[in-house]
Structure 1
């Protein structure tokens, strides 16, 4: 069993101020795989003090200096990729091959995207012949990250913070903290100055709240549930610090009558990816009535044939959900769904042959309407809700009838319809015909899905203040 109790503060690994052991559970086995410590207020204060002390000098370093360190960080990340893959697979249950490709790859992809965006990024511009506009680092940043895509989210926050001259304290999810601890090792190995990056483990009620309320923290960047995002916003309001939020989702996947013949199959596969533990998953499938029965059967077949197994098992499959609490929440929502809609695949309990581990059956409900719990709540598991529509207007209305607005999906060969519908969907992202987003594309949502943007130039700008200076002679 791994023992990882120390925190990374001011360039050193230090013991917690008070012993407070926390067991990290392997969701494939339900057995303890590591022990960490949850931080105390003294640990939080020490990390914030280190970041505050480092800010003045770090914020004045050149763009070239910071770029050199970020490139070195990418080298270390790639050199130690297998360690990271093993850590994420064990802590949150991603199948090892997916962990090596998608989970690790998401981190390096975003880091590369930031380096590309940073190359031509300007921190100042002439507003008039005598007035200059400056973009300056906001200051000390608290980065609070989730367990479902650990490196994706840590890179999306830590890299732009450090690139823009901010200093940071990372609080990774206590459920899946091993990848965050490894990332701190990478930052240290890359040679970043002491205090620029710090890590304190803890839970939301403890270290999370302490960081959100701390008067010396200038910004909180949070990814997680909408409920927690609301709590962080309230806690941060007393000091009027900036809060950037990437929260939940309930994405609609609109399949029109002229969609690709396998659109429903591809939509179901995408829904079940990462065991459904993605905020941008297409969990509501809206299908034109002319294709509805075919889509229901196609999605049900995907659910029946999707292999579920331990994270260590080779090959293409989905693993467990992350924890017992998450398993129980999903089971309750499936039970509610069985009383509301027509169950066509999956259901309650573990898949056959699995009597241990937090494994969930890929589940499909048909004949769903938007008033049902299964259509409104974010399940965060491999559960798909399918509903029919007749007209374009009806599809748009159903898709927008949700408190969330992260990612929606459109499937049609009609280019004008695709563009027209995309403009009317109330979400931060609209993916059409399975075309993925480009490196550096802005990631974020509308409504209760959050209020910030991550990735590329948009992610850099989140960590900057804008300053106007008059009387600046033209150069």
Structure 2
């Protein structure tokens, strides 16, 4: 393992390291509490950051409230807001290398993976800038008495809460749509990965966003609970665990605040009997345990025809067993560390549960013996898995995949749907239309045929306990809007002057 190559004091602005961004200014935290940020590749803290208290949260919400109630942002045209989003995108694009390095430093994403996905943040800003400039924020409909004008108003002050695992890409979905809609926002950055959102605040400041439109604090679960409960917050957009999502939903329900939830997943890849082995493996493997499986859309259940089970298990296990586990700063590393010691212990516990319940480990199965520091787990494949087993039902959030055999397509669909979740999924086949027909039967928010893709103009979100609402596409913009109908009488005929 090489030495830790990220120096926050030389790579990050002092404001990002020690302050919050509130009401257009970098402000000293009111709290004296701080929290260490631990590098997963070493297991050691590399910096400490301030943690917001309730007073800091209140200041951020008050700034967002003033900006919404009396400021210019909600009353701007969509085209004018689009100009600001475009400037933010340019500022963000100039920091791509830094943002990739932050992702690797904070949570151990392999640097090639970070390099690939960090640009999606600028792409989301660009997409919503274009959409805001053309979107029909007002339209007219004829009525019996005259006309109704349908005005799509911004929902108000929004709390944006994205998780530690992919802070920047997930935040970009929420932030781009919220700003395009005319909302003002308070971003709660997670203490495990605080710097992405604060660098975004730098970009907003550089782009000249009016004061109070975008505010960023770093807060733990207590700070987040205080933020979500505030009556001045009109909407909460949360991505994270299903358990936390349920708590947030109950809090919002108490005052009927709007809420969007993108929660856990236990996604299934269905390999149909006509799928060619090698192309299927090439397309599937990258999405079964990307970023050590710490991505909600990971295809962690692979459903294969029983007649091809042995062939598939052997071929897939050889590939997974050959993945390079190591230093996330090394461009050749395929599997980096888990994000924390807690994640490490959680994943090891699931591996033990799979073993104890009778599943067969075909590769991996424990903590990496080649790494004496950091939070490394061997990529692990289970065969002989049934849908009743814990590893087939619960989201593990680690490099662990279950292979389940089926007898016919009806059973494959039933197995795919036999879960509390419904976020993502894939179908592999030599017949695309057959794949489409199968995908239509899967109760999940997103399904790809012969691969996995996400696009800014396409909605993302889940069925069942994978969430409520959608992000991305026009649907993501609509999630930050309220429809107001204003009825107007027919125009009175003018009196003709003689």
Interval containing the TM-score (normalised by the shorter chain)? over 0.9
* Cα deviations by residue, 1:370-392 (Å, 9 ceiling, x for unpaired): 00000001000111000100111
Residue from 104, 112, 126 that aligns with 1:112:
126
* Cα deviations by residue, 1:100-136 (Å, 9 ceiling, x for unpaired): 222x122122222223333321101112251111100
Q: Within 1, Cα distance between the matches of 2:253 and 2:475? A: 24
* Contact 1:268-1:384 at 8 Å conserved across structures: no
Measure how far apart 1:284 and its partner are: 0.2
Q: Within 1, Cα distance between the matches of 2:176 and 2:223? A: 21
Q: Within 1, Cα distance between the matches of 2:472 and 2:490? A: 34
1:409 equivalent in structure 2: 426
Which one has the largest radius of gyration? Answer: 2
Q: Does 1:29 align with 2:45?
A: no
Q: Within 2, Cα distance between the matches of 1:269 and 1:419? A: 21
Q: Within 1, Cα distance between the matches of 2:489 and 2:296? A: 46
Q: Does 1:260 align with 2:283?
A: no
Q: Within 2, Cα distance between the matches of 1:435 and 1:95? A: 19
The structure-2 alpha-carbon separation of the partners of 1:115 and 1:64, relative to structure 1 and needing over 3 Å to count, comes to closer
Instruction: Give the secondary-structure state (helix, strand or coil) at the position aligned to 1:429.
Output: coil
1:5 equivalent in structure 2: 18
Q: Does 1:433 align with 2:446?
A: no
Residue from 314, 319, 337 that aligns with 2:331:
314
Q: Within 2, Cα distance between the matches of 1:59 and 1:473? A: 29
The structure-2 alpha-carbon separation of the partners of 1:212 and 1:435, relative to structure 1 and needing over 3 Å to count, comes to closer
* Cα deviations by residue, 1:221-256 (Å, 9 ceiling, x for unpaired): 000000110011112222210110000000010001
TM-score for both structures, normalised by structure 1 = 0.96
Q: Does 1:194 align with 2:208?
A: no
The structure-2 alpha-carbon separation of the partners of 1:100 and 1:473, relative to structure 1 and needing over 3 Å to count, comes to farther
Instruction: Give the secondary-structure state (helix, strand or coil) at the position aligned to 1:436.
Output: coil
Instruction: Give the secondary-structure state (helix, strand or coil) at the position aligned to 1:238.
Output: helix
How many residue pairs end up in the alignment? Answer: 471
Q: Within 1, Cα distance between the matches of 2:399 and 2:459? A: 26
Measure how far apart 1:458 and its partner are: 1.3
Runs of 4+ in structure 1 displaced over 6 angstroms?
none
Measure how far apart 1:31 and its partner are: 1.3
2:245 equivalent in structure 1: 229
Residue from 145, 154, 159 that aligns with 1:142:
159
Instruction: Give the secondary-structure state (helix, strand or coil) at the position aligned to 2:218.
Output: coil
Instruction: Give the secondary-structure state (helix, strand or coil) at the position aligned to 1:387.
Output: strand
Q: Within 1, Cα distance between the matches of 2:176 and 2:352? A: 41
2:367 equivalent in structure 1: 349
* Contact 2:43-2:375 at 8 Å conserved across structures: yes
Instruction: Give the secondary-structure state (helix, strand or coil) at the position aligned to 1:307.
Output: coil
2:307 equivalent in structure 1: 290
1:85 equivalent in structure 2: 100
TM-score for both structures, normalised by structure 2 = 0.92
Instruction: Give the secondary-structure state (helix, strand or coil) at the position aligned to 1:126.
Output: strand
Q: Does 1:443 align with 2:456?
A: no
* Contact 1:296-1:386 at 8 Å conserved across structures: yes
Q: Within 2, Cα distance between the matches of 1:439 and 1:178? A: 23
* Cα deviations by residue, 1:63-110 (Å, 9 ceiling, x for unpaired): 2221111100010011111111111110011112221222x1221222
Measure how far apart 1:265 and its partner are: 4.9
Q: Does 1:419 align with 2:436?
A: yes
* Cα deviations by residue, 1:164-221 (Å, 9 ceiling, x for unpaired): 11000000221111111111111111110110000111112x1110111100000000
2:226 equivalent in structure 1: 210
1:398 equivalent in structure 2: 415
* Contact 1:5-1:21 at 8 Å conserved across structures: no
1:452 equivalent in structure 2: 469
The structure-2 alpha-carbon separation of the partners of 1:52 and 1:389, relative to structure 1 and needing over 3 Å to count, comes to same
Measure how far apart 1:38 and its partner are: 1.4
Instruction: Give the secondary-structure state (helix, strand or coil) at the position aligned to 1:428.
Output: coil
